[in-house]
């Protein structure tokens, strides 16, 4: 066979091999993409494009979805509705730095001594924290269902640290809440002030629910932060580039 014909035949075989290899690689890539798409559909908590549902587990995309609600009250309330969370919307009140255009009341959330209206992003955070952190930890660590979450207040028209020229507190718009303790269905009470310093199951529970709040709320402050928080956890949904968890 002349040399030229041999080279032509070899080149054809090389070309065919390359086409077959390209087809195989594309088939593998398509299979991987389809598997990834199918997995995302089965795990919407990891899918940034999937609508947020507070009944889903916390996933890779949860923090970003929660952050997106901070400046979109209608979308935030749509999340509560999609998640079958009972809530009421109250009339706008206040003015200036303490204006409250978003007053969302979780109708069935077990807060005590009352259930204050908070911003919708705070409401979504509280609901996710209760279901995904507090209730499972109460059963797993303390062996009892949760009865109530004790708080020290949400709305307070004041500046941070009580100064006259400091930045306004997130409490000024009820975009924050201070949690002081918990009551269990069996009657036991857990106090941040009393139980945090101890070496006990109650202290382990408190640390578990503090850690569970991180990634849900923009700011989480505990007795580990400073003496001013010795008796409560501070949670808020301040707009910030990265969360604070202390």
Characterize 188-210 residue by residue with b for buried, 16 or more Cβ atoms within 10 angstroms of its Cβ, and e for exposed: eebebeebbeeeeebbbbbebbb
Name the pTM for this structure.
0.82
Of 175, 192, 201, 186, residue with least CA distance to 233? 192
Longest CA–CA separation in the chain, Å:
97
How many Cα neighbours within 13 Å face the side chain of 223? 16
Please report the DSSP string for 146-191 in residue order.
EEEEEEEES----BGGG-SSSPBPGGGGT-EEEEEEEEETTS-EEE
C-alpha torsion angle, residues 57, 123, 214, 39 (rounded to 10): 20
3-state secondary structure of 216: coil
How many other C-beta atoms lie within 10 A of the C-beta of residue 128? 25
Alpha-carbon span 36 to 175, nearest angstrom: 37
How many other C-beta atoms lie within 10 A of the C-beta of residue 55? 13
- Strands 111-112 and 146-153, sheet pairing: parallel
**What pLDDT was estimated at residue 37?**
47
pLDDT of the chain along its 246 residues, tens only?
566 666 566 667 776 767 767 766 665 665 545 545 454 555 777 898 999 999 888 888 888 888 889 889 999 999 999 999 999 999 999 999 999 999 999 999 999 999 999 999 999 999 999 999 999 999 999 999 999 999 999 999 999 877 778 899 999 999 999 999 999 999 999 999 999 999 999 999 999 999 999 989 999 999 999 999 999 999 999 986 567 899
């Amino acid at each position: 066979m002349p040399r030229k014909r041999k080279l032509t035949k070899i080149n054809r075989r090389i070309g065919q091999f390359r086409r077959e290899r390209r087809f195989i690689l594309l088939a593998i890539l398509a299979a991987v993409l389809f598997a990834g798409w199918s997995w995302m559909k089965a795990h919407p908590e990891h899918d940034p494009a999937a609508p947020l549902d507070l009944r889903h587990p916390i996933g890779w995309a949860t923090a970003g979805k929660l952050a997106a609600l901070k400046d979109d009250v209608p979308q935030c309330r749509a999340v509560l509705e999609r998640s079958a969370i009972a809530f009421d919307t109250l009339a706008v009140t206040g003015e200036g730095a303490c204006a409250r255009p978003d007053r969302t009341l979780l109708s069935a959330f077990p807060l005590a001594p009352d259930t204050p209206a908070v911003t919708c992003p705070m409401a979504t955070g509280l609901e996710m924290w209760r279901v995904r952190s507090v209730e499972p930890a109460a059963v797993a660590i303390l062996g009892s269902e949760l009865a109530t979450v004790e708080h020290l207040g949400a709305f307070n028209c004041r500046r941070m640290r009580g100064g006259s020229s400091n930045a306004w507190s997130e409490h000024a718009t009820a975009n924050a809440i201070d949690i002081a303790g918990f009551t269990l269905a069996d009657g036991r009470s857990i106090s941040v002030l009393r139980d945090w310093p101890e070496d006990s199951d109650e202290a382990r529970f408190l640390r578990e629910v503090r850690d569970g709040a991180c990634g849900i709320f923009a700011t989480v402050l505990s007795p580990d932060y400073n003496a001013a928080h010795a008796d409560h956890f501070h949670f808020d949904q301040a707009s910030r580039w990265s969360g604070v968890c202390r």
